[in-house]
Structure 1
Amino acid sequence: MEKEIFLGIFTLISGLFGCFTNWSVVFFSSSVPTLRSSFGILSAHGAFTTAIYCTIAVVWITPMMLL
């Protein structure tokens, strides 16, 4: 039981960190002029996809691990 709680807490912490950083990249990439190139657009789309995954992990998977 302790192993599952540890993994759930680790998933929660890493998921929240991932959500914060990836959503920050998505929202701030349009305000940085150097990221308006094709590389910046690809980076923003990659961050958006990863942010969706992290949000699903925090909202759906982590509660199942902790309960």
Structure 2
Amino acid sequence: MKKAPTATAVTRIPAPVEDVWRVLVAFDQYAQWHPVLSLDAKPEQIVAGVDIPGRRSVGDTGQQDVT
């Protein structure tokens, strides 16, 4: 079985890791800084390595399921 492609990005953020994590798992507030991505998980369900289902929506392409 062919493995799905994976994207990785690294960014240095001048803030404590706890503050960054709190923003990253506040999925209900994503539209403030990432208007095309919706994620379907609760912050307490998130641990390193878990897959998070969501949707991407841009322009005329409609919605696309993402993990």
Which TM-score tier does this pair reach, normalised by the shorter chain? under 0.3
| Structure showing the higher helix proportion among its residues | 1
Instruction: Give TM-score, length-normalised by structure 2.
Output: 0.26
| TM-score (normalizing by structure 1) | 0.26
- More strand per residue: 1 or 2? 2
User: Highest CA radius of gyration, 1 or 2?
Assistant: 1
Higher relative contact order (CA 8 A, sep 6+): 1
